[in-house]
Amino acid sequence: MVRYYNDSTTFRLPEKRRTAAWLARVAEAEGYTLGDVNYIFCSSERHLEINKEFLHHDYYTDIITFDYSDRKGTRVVAGDVFIDVETVRDNARIYGTRFRDEMRRVVVHGVLHLCGQRDKSPSAEKMMHRKEDKYLALF
């Protein structure tokens, strides 16, 4: 079940039910079942606090994913996905895309992380972007 929360922002994700159904299809296409996934939308400052406290990173980023998945046993993906709404908005301007589209990209990015997709190397990052594009086309 996908749930949406706000922490220090008034942002509300549009089309929540459609998004949840889409994310379930993404997880299924990746070979998993979607379990409890919480999306927490927050301000840049709150996101930075989380990044410092839990990951010991002192920089802004658009997404932080805490993975509670059981990919080897039940193959159920679960986790908490914190999204910095302000950074997503800035990135949309930088990449010349609509905010709505950039937010969807980040939302699916979180589920792909829960499904085991990494993005720390150039090749893994390319694969992540290809998968994002593929699943965005299915929204």
| Measured distance CA(25)–CA(90) in Å, rounded | 28
- Distance CA(102)–CA(56), nearest Å, equals 26
Residue 96: its pLDDT value, please? 97
pLDDT in tens, 59-77: 999 999 999 999 899 999 9
Mean pLDDT (whole number) for 84-92: 98
| DSSP conformation class of 120 | S
- The mean pLDDT value for 4-20 works out to 96
Return the SS3 of 14.
coil
What does the pLDDT read at residue 50?
96
State the pLDDT confidence band at 117, using cuts at 50, 70 and 90: very high
Quick one: pLDDT at residue 103? 98
Q: What is the pLDDT, as a whole number, of residue 88?
A: 98
Phi, psi of 34 (to 5 degrees): -80, 120
Q: Is 67 helix (H, G, I), strand (E, B) or coil?
A: strand
The predicted-structure confidence for 23-35, as pLDDT tens digits, reads as follows 999 999 999 999 9
Q: Considering the entire predicted model, what is its pTM?
A: 0.95
**What are the tens digits of pLDDT across the range 95-114?**
999 999 999 999 999 999 99
Over the chain, what is the mean pLDDT?
Answer: 96
Q: Give the mean pLDDT of 7-13.
A: 95
* 3-state SS, one letter per residue, for 68-80: CCECCCCCEEEEE
